[in-house]
Amino acid sequence: MDIPFVELKGINKKFGTVVANQNVNMTINKGEIHAILGENGSGKSTLMNMLSGIYMPDSGQILLEGRELKITSPDDAINAGIGMIHQHFKLVDVFSAKENITLGKKDGLFIKGKELSRQIREVGDKYSLRIDPDKKVYNMSVSEKQTVEIIKVLFGGARLLILDEPTAVLTPQEIDNLFSILRKMRDDGCAIIIITHKMDEVMAISDRITILRKGESIATVNTADTDVKSLTEMMVGRPISLEIKRVTTDPEKVKPILNVRDLVVEGVGNQRLLDNVSFELSSGEILGVAGIAGSGQKELCEVLAGICRPKTGSAIFKGDEIIGLSPREIIRKGIKTSFIPEDRLGMGLVGNMNIVDNVLLKEYHNSNKMFMSRKGSKQISEQIIEKYDIKTPSVYHQVKKLSGGNIQKVLLGREINLAPQLLVTAYPVRGLDIGASYQIYNLLNSQKQDGVGIIFIGEDLDVLMALCDRIMVLSHGEVMDIVPADKVTKEQLGMLMLGHKNFDTEGHND
Amino acid sequence: MIKIVKKSEVAGIRATAYRLIAVVGALICSALLMLALGHNPIEVFSNIINGSVMTKYRLIETLRRAIPLIILSLGISVAFKMKFWNIGAEGQLCMGAFGASFFALYFPDLPQIVLLPLMLVAAMICGGIWASIASVLKLKFDTNETLVTLMLNYVAIKWISFLQYNLWRDPEAKGFALIPKFSKNAVLPNVFDLHIGWIIALVFAVIIYILMKHTKLGYEIEVIGENKNTANYAGMNLKKVMLIAVFLSGALCGAAGMIQASGVEFTLNEQISGGMGFTAVITAWLAKLSAPAIIVTSFLFAMLLRGGDFLRVQMQIPSAVSDILQGIILFFVLGSEFFIQYKFVFSRKRAS
């Protein structure tokens, strides 16, 4: 390669006093898939946001085919042929695929419907991206939405595609499909940057890998010349064990604590968000919940926390029915259902409040007086900060200004501090770096050994299979199966997630 | 090309500096306006200060204006903290004044020590109920509280007009449509030459400060305002808290109505609110909904109002000028918030 397609030279970016990127150098060639690997908070997203015009670097150069390029807005990026597909899709739900794709296009006042559909199909066919141009986004599955995003970017004439964590929401089968599409685009001369922290995917798809650590570019290596272990070391900065242990609980502590029967939750238009969900949970057990995002995980959490009232069904916790109780009553009955919500800033923490006030959230109603004291919460906050190594200037720091991992630790620390008997946790390691993730796994394991019943809603199948005792697979709100975690394969889980119930589970049947 | 870019967090001192610059900018801009109108700006400004605080009488008149603004802003701040956009302070003030007047007119001979508290309580209940219409409708039918509270202002004002022109019209007022003056027992006594409302306002400020900072209710209001989902998840009773907070908000505005009727007008009339319900939205907002800051912003706004009146008398400057001054100051100060969060980026021609 003579001149690289895009070259980043000495990129620096600070947010206030926080260094997000420091002296980042990397090159991206045409016709390659370039993975950017780094822990959360290592500056991957910031870097890519600078390429796509959302942020501007404080200093440093971006060269496009050898010429300096100033990107000051997403418009500039698109005009330069750089398109980004964000982790959270930026589509208008009530619009069709076609309308979303042409959104923001400036040429022409009118939309030529048929002509456009043809063009979209043309672009799609080229890379076997199949999509119905007239389908509304709200009717689409996650992978269809992703396809729309990709076509949208290609339609805008992008020659460099940036995908931010594209596989996080896909099943194994969908991931394979996405990868083959990406390979086709690469062979066609596109440059592709893929941001991820999943090691096996990096190894499978990329040609070269740039590793970021604490905002700096550590190295760029050829995928063929490296392995998972050395990549991890470069990422974390020290050797680390990648084994998740499944601990066993003292059988005396294992007693059934939760019995859920025939839960039905209906959404808009009687659509069943949970469809006759039944399962049992014992103390000292981790029950994993797998499923494509939006398969009813959120509703299940909310029912158990008392936020969402199901249409029918029951949930008996140690002999007490908890359906129909308010969240406060569930806590008052002596049931400690520590529920760690999916979207932790959206539900669980108050971003504009400081750590003490957030810890107070689960404490303040315990005093009978009208006035409340923040002393206890301050102490707990200090303990949590120390125990989980939360990086913050003080206990009075606004939660939203912490990094994702630290936010997660505040929430988890607060919940575990309540000494729960049943812990419901959704995606507890999302946004955490590897070290911190393992801390969380160990924490869950020690809770399990203490006899806590844990419902672990996860997205990384490898983690679910390694950590949990049993895995319940949800698809469209229905329990497809509950399988022992040590006897199931990733492919089988994938099939279940897609809703294929009847496959050979090697003798296992429910 | 000019582009607007979101800034990273601006630290405390710099943010304050931005706001000071904004005030200076507003003064310069107003000065230019004065010059254009053929007045000496320095004279105008010194007259505003002179006219609002430089003699004891003027200071007291300014404080008299500040009292209702403080109480209304406190009331508004409680609802706004919960992101319940109560812009019906005007109407709640009217209904509060109505409640107070009812007892003043029908039980004029009760001893003052009984009658005044009764009037205050009645005013707070009436104002609270008036505000609660919006919260109940919001909970039942998911209506927009901004519209409902705004519209109820007009209903309340017209209700007062009806009382003034029909039901409570004083037959002895010789053809004038007036409601009778309150009896002596229904008038707020003076403390240091100013009706006792100033003490009530300060007490309210302390209560609201403590309520918002150190009670469960205040904490719940804040959490709900910040994040309804989290509040739900933490087991807060959203409906209950909303009903209480909105009632409280309306009750405070109602109290302001009682103080105006009993301390300033000595009767009820349709001009009793005089737009203060809207001015208070501004003062509450400029104070960032903090009770101590509300006292300051309300006083400053009262200065502007009084100063404007003084200009009219002293320099024959139309009172509209003081409105323009208010507008300019508001524009700059609120505008400075934009510069605290965003910045302009000047870029060369696009390289392509």
Facing B347 at nearest CB: one of A72, A305, A361? A72
Dihedral sign for Cα atoms in the order A381, A387, A392, A398: negative
**Rounded to whole angstroms, how far apart are CA atoms A80 and A82?**
6
> What's the gap in Å between the CA of A348 and the closest CA on chain B?
5
Helices (runs of H) and strands (runs of E) counted in chain A = 16, 20
Facing A305 at nearest CB: one of B214, B233, B345? B233
Instruction: State the pLDDT at residue A127.
Output: 81
Comparing alpha-carbon positions, the chain B residue that sits nearest to A357 is B219
Residue ranges per structural domain of chain B: 1-39+319-352, 57-316
Residues of A with CB under 8 A from a CB of B: 14-16, 56, 67-70, 72-73, 76, 79-80, 305-307, 326-328, 330-331, 339, 341, 343, 345-353, 357, 360-362, 364-365, 367, 370-372, 401
Confidence of residue B346 (pLDDT cuts 50, 70, 90): low
**Rounded to whole angstroms, how far apart are CA atoms A272 and A270?**
6
**Rounded to whole angstroms, how far apart are CA atoms A359 and B46?**
51
Q: Do B9 and A16 touch (CB under 8 A)?
A: yes
Q: Do B347 and A70 touch (CB under 8 A)?
A: yes
Instruction: State the pLDDT at residue A342.
Output: 62
Instruction: State the pLDDT at residue B97.
Output: 97
Q: Do B235 and A328 touch (CB under 8 A)?
A: yes
Q: Do A364 and B219 touch (CB under 8 A)?
A: yes
**Residue B28 reports pLDDT greater than 70:** yes
Region A106-121 average pLDDT: 72
**Rounded to whole angstroms, how far apart are CA atoms A506 and B319?**
88
Strands (E), chain B: 2-6, 190-191, 194-195, 342-346
Q: Do A349 and B230 touch (CB under 8 A)?
A: yes
Which of A322, A332, A359, A372 is the best substitution to test chain B (most B C-beta atoms within 10 A)?
A: A372
Instruction: State the pLDDT at residue B345.
Output: 66
Which of B229, B240, B244, B344 is the best substitution to test chain A (most A C-beta atoms within 10 A)?
A: B229
Region A86-107 average pLDDT: 80
Q: Do B227 and A351 touch (CB under 8 A)?
A: yes
Tokens 């202002």 — which residue?
A: B153
Torsion angle defined by CA atoms of residues A36, A41, A43 and A48, in that order, rounded to the nearest 10 degrees: 70
Q: What are the chain A neighbours of B3 within 8 Å (beta carbons)?
A: 72-73
**Rounded to whole angstroms, how far apart are CA atoms A229 and A240?**
8
Token representation of residue A184: 């086709």
- Which of A22-36, A76-90, B19-33 has maximum average pLDDT? A22-36
Which of A371, A398, A411, A415 is the best substitution to test chain B (most B C-beta atoms within 10 A)?
A: A371
More confident residue, B299 or A391: B299
The residue type at A487: K
CATH class of B57-316: mainly alpha
The phi-psi region of residue A381 (left if phi > 0; otherwise alpha if psi is between -120 and 50; otherwise beta) is: alpha
Closest CA to A229 of A243, A245, A217, A208: A243
**Rounded to whole angstroms, how far apart are CA atoms B68 and B88?**
14
Give the domains, in start order, of chain A with CATH numbers. Answer: 6-236 (3.40.50.300), 243-336+419-510 (3.40.50.300), 347-416 (no CATH)
> What's the gap in Å between the CA of A2 and the closest CA on chain B?
21
Residues of B with CB under 8 A from a CB of A: 1, 3, 5, 8-9, 11, 214-217, 219, 222-223, 226-227, 229-230, 232-237, 345, 347-348, 350-352
Yes or no: say if B256 and B93 are a contact pair by the CB < 8 Å rule: yes
Q: What DSSP assignment string belongs to A281-308?
A: EETT-EEEEE-STTSSHHHHHHHHHTSS
Q: What are the chain B neighbours of A328 within 8 Å (beta carbons)?
A: 235-237
What digits encode the pLDDT tens for the residues A115-151?
778 888 888 888 888 888 888 888 887 788 888 888 8
Helix axes B319-341, B291-315, angle to 10 degrees: 140
- Which of A452-456, B10-14, B229-233, B331-335 is predicted least confidently? B10-14
Dihedral sign for Cα atoms in the order B308, B314, B319, B320: negative
What digits encode the pLDDT tens for the residues B219-242?
999 999 998 888 888 888 899 999
> What's the gap in Å between the CA of B235 and the closest CA on chain A?
5
Comparing alpha-carbon positions, the chain B residue that sits nearest to A301 is B233
Closest CA to A90 of A132, A153, A27: A153
Comparing alpha-carbon positions, the chain B residue that sits nearest to A55 is B5
Q: What DSSP assignment string belongs to B149-204?
A: HHHHHHHHHHHHHHIIIIIT--TTSTT---PPPPPGGGSPPEETTEETHHHHHHHH
The single-letter DSSP state of residue A39 is -
Strands in A6-15's sheet, in edge-to-edge order, are A18-28, A6-15, A59-64, A67-68
Facing A76 at nearest CB: one of B9, B222, B350? B350
First and final CA of chain B: distance in angstroms? 14
- CB atoms closer than 10 angstroms to residue A409: 26
Facing A352 at nearest CB: one of B9, B226, B348? B226
Instruction: State the pLDDT at residue A507.
Output: 44
Instruction: State the pLDDT at residue B5.
Output: 65
Tokens 């087991």 — which residue?
A: B235
Q: What are the chain A neighbours of B232 within 8 Å (beta carbons)?
A: 307, 327, 347
Q: What are the chain B neighbours of A76 within 8 Å (beta carbons)?
A: 350
Facing A72 at nearest CB: one of B3, B216, B219? B3
Q: Do A370 and B217 touch (CB under 8 A)?
A: yes
Q: Do A353 and B348 touch (CB under 8 A)?
A: no
Instruction: State the pLDDT at residue A107.
Output: 62
Closest CA to A413 of A380, A442, A441, A373: A380
ipTM of predicted complex:
0.81
Q: Do B230 and A346 touch (CB under 8 A)?
A: yes
Cβ partners under 8 Å of residue A177, min gap 6: A143
Torsion angle defined by CA atoms of residues B313, B316, B318 and B322, in that order, rounded to the nearest 10 degrees: -60
Yes or no: say if B195 and B117 are a contact pair by the CB < 8 Å rule: no
Phi, psi values for residue A117, rounded to 5°: -55, -40
Instruction: State the pLDDT at residue B198.
Output: 95
Comparing alpha-carbon positions, the chain A residue that sits nearest to B344 is A72
Q: Do A328 and B237 touch (CB under 8 A)?
A: yes
Facing A70 at nearest CB: one of B227, B230, B351? B351
Which of B230, B241, B342 is the best substitution to test chain A (most A C-beta atoms within 10 A)?
A: B230
Region B104-128 average pLDDT: 96
Region A435-463 average pLDDT: 86
Cβ partners under 8 Å of residue B154, min gap 6: B91
User: pTM of this prediction?
Assistant: 0.77
Instruction: State the pLDDT at residue A98.
Output: 84
Confidence of residue B338 (pLDDT cuts 50, 70, 90): confident
The residue type at B85: W
- Which of A25-29, A265-269, B285-289 is predicted least confidently? A265-269
Instruction: State the pLDDT at residue B141.
Output: 94
Region B162-184 average pLDDT: 90
Cβ partners under 8 Å of residue A354, min gap 6: A395, A396, A397, A398, A399
CA angle, residues A92, A95, A96, in degrees to nearest 5? 125
